[in-house]
Every structure is written in structure tokens, then in C-alpha cells.
Amino acid sequence: MPEGGLQARLTADGSFSLFSDAVGEGFHSADGALAEARAKFVLPAGLERFAPGGTLQVVEVAVGTGTNTAALLEATRQRGLALSWWGLERDPEPLRLALADGGFRRQWPPEVLSQAEALGASDRLLWGDARTRLVDLPTALTGACDLVLLDAFSPRRSPELWTVEFLAGLARLLAPQGRLLTYCSAAAVRRALAEAGLQLAAIRAVAPHEEGAWSGGTVASPSPLASDGVLRGLSPMEREHMASRAGEPYRDPHGQAGAAEILAARARAQAVSGAESGSAWQRRLGGPRHHRRPRTEGMGGQEQDR
């Protein structure tokens, strides 16, 4: 179902983005849609791991404006890599608005733009609820994806694509050295990824607003992830946070619950959990004030659980 109420906006690096009135959240960090695509998806993808001439198998969840798609196309072309890309997205409007915007079009070399346009118009973009369309991906992708990009709205506003069940479905797509990439550092999401059998690493925080936060996102893989200039292992503090009540995962056993239902079920599970509360943990260990990108406007000092 289309979101409706999408407002175009320029982010701090001059790149095009959208704000969803229905969700109450921006599509990208206000710091920069393009900067975010590169820092949270392209760099942590570790493209240097692949020899030029190869083809990467990629599934992108929540394609939106196609900013991540185009950023990945641009970076892989520069490295002589081809993409075998599949996308999941509910609403055609974000991509339509982006492609109709002159500023967005000027962000990309012509060959990248035309390749992104072609993918967006192809049957490789599966429209509809990603939870139901996931099974329509070719079965050959199971255990074969080099990269899975997950860029849904934040778990607190839109938990549907952050549940144990959906994340387990994405985990099954990954090749042994494959990587699931997301800007999200929420303890509940990390715990669900770990329960899906994946190894975790944090994306090192880079943006100014991330100072005092512990990470700039999460990478998950069936294989251990080495620390480098982009990734680092989870700290003991982060692992404790995952074990606290804040790490209570989102669940959606039938794959069709609405956001309110998923949030209420999680709140009930947290209420009877014997685990330490997230706020007690935060007071004890002096955890980060926030661990998500500031996509939300008008939330004042409320906790923003990315």
C-alpha cells in the first residue's frame, strides 16, 4: 500500500531525499542521503573483497528512492563488478518522485542513472509487502547473496521489516561470506540477527551526530567479520545491551501483523522479561544517548531506537 504524503527535501550534503508524513520519518539521515548510502551500505559492503569482472548477487529491501541502488551501482561499476540485483519495495511513488527530480538525476553519472532506471522498471523489482514478496525471489538466491541491503524505516515506527521472522528470511539468502547491511544498531534487531545464526559487527560511527553513539549501523554474516577501518566487533557493552530488555526482538509469526500489533506484543514480552531494563542498563553503563540516525523530525528529546 503506498505511504502517501511524501515530501521532497534536500539533505545536508545537497542530495535528494523524502520525508514520509504517514510514518513521521525521513528516508535518510538529514546529514545526507548520498553520504549515508556510501557510509552505511557501500563501504561496509567490502567491495574490495571481489575480483574485478565478477558479478555480485544483491537483494535490496526497501528500495525507496533508489539512492542506495544507484550508489551501489556507481561503486561496483568503478570496480569493474556487475550486479545481479533484486529489490523489494511496497510503494512505487518514492522512486517515481526521485527519478522525476532534476537534482536527484544530476547526482549520478548518466550510465548509472540509466541502469538504475532500467532496474526500477524491470521485473527484478518486486512490488508489494516485502514480507510476502520475499518468497517470490528466485530460489537460486538462497544461500547465494553477496549483499542484502536493509533500509526500512526505524523499528519503533515500522517494526514489520525488523522481526525475527523476516530477518531470518533475509539471513537464509546470504552466501557463506555474504553480508547483510543496515544503518540500524538497535539491540532488538541485533539480537534477532544473532538468533538467525549470523555473526555481527558494528559499522564504525563517522557522522558528527553519531559522536557519543556507539555505532553507525550493523553488518551481519554467516561468517566471522574481521575488524577494519569500516567495521569493528561489538563491544561488551553492546552485547549487554542486546541481552537487556531493549534487546527483546520484534516478532510477527504470521508475517502480516501491523506495526501497532508487533509493538504491543513486544511490550508485553518486555514486561514479563527477567532481563535488565534498557534504561537501567543505560544508567549503569552510561550507554549512548542515541543509536540511530536522526531521520525523525519533531521528536524532541525522545529516545530514538534505531
Ligand X SMILES: C[S@@+](CC[C@H](N)C(=O)[O-])C[C@H]1O[C@@H](n2cnc3c(N)ncnc32)[C@H](O)[C@@H]1O
Which of 13, 117, 129, 276 binds ligand X (CB under 6 A)? It is: 129
Asked if residue 151 binds ligand X (CB under 6 A), the reply is yes
Written as one string, the DSSP assignment of 9-61 is: EE-TTS-EEEEETTTTEESS-TT-HHHHIIIIIIGGG-GGGS-TT-EEEEEEE
Bridge partners (DSSP) of residue 199 are 221
Looking at the Cβ atoms of 90 and 190, the one nearer to ligand X is 90
CB of 177 to ligand X, least distance (A): 23
Cell matching residue 285: 553503563
Asked if residue 244 binds ligand X (CB under 6 A), the reply is no
CA separation for the pair 290, 237 (Å, rounded)? 14
Looking at the Cβ atoms of 160 and 305, the one nearer to ligand X is 160
Closest CA to 48 of 170, 230, 180, 185: 230
CB of 87 to ligand X, least distance (A): 9
Looking at the Cβ atoms of 32 and 278, the one nearer to ligand X is 32
3-state secondary structure at position 295: coil
CB of 90 to ligand X, least distance (A): 3
> Do 54 and 86 touch, CB atoms closer than 8 A?
no
In the region spanning residues 267 to 296, those forming contacts with ligand X, defined by CB under 6 A, are none
Task: Cite the beta strand spans of 74-215 per DSSP E.
Answer: 82-89, 125-127, 145-150, 174-182, 199-203
Cell matching residue 73: 551501482
Which of 152, 173, 174, 198 binds ligand X (CB under 6 A)? It is: 152
Instruction: Print the binding letters for residues 154-183 with ligand X: x by CB under 6 A, - otherwise.
Output: ----x-xx----------------------
Which of 11, 15, 57, 67 binds ligand X (CB under 6 A)? It is: 67
Count of residues that bind ligand X according to CB under 6 A: 22
Among the listed ranges 42-50, 147-155, 192-200, 248-256, the one in contact with ligand X (CB under 6 A) is: 147-155
Percent helix / strand / coil, the chain, rounded to 5 = 40, 20, 40
Residues with Cβ within 8 Å of residue 271, at least 6 apart in sequence: none
Cell matching residue 222: 554467516
In the region spanning residues 77 to 106, those forming contacts with ligand X, defined by CB under 6 A, are 88-91, 94
In the region spanning residues 14 to 33, those forming contacts with ligand X, defined by CB under 6 A, are 27
> Which position's Cβ is nearest ligand X?
64
Among the listed ranges 7-15, 149-157, 207-215, 221-229, the one in contact with ligand X (CB under 6 A) is: 149-157
Q: Which residues bind ligand X (CB under 6 A)?
A: 3, 27, 62-65, 67-68, 88-91, 94, 129-131, 151-153, 158, 160-161
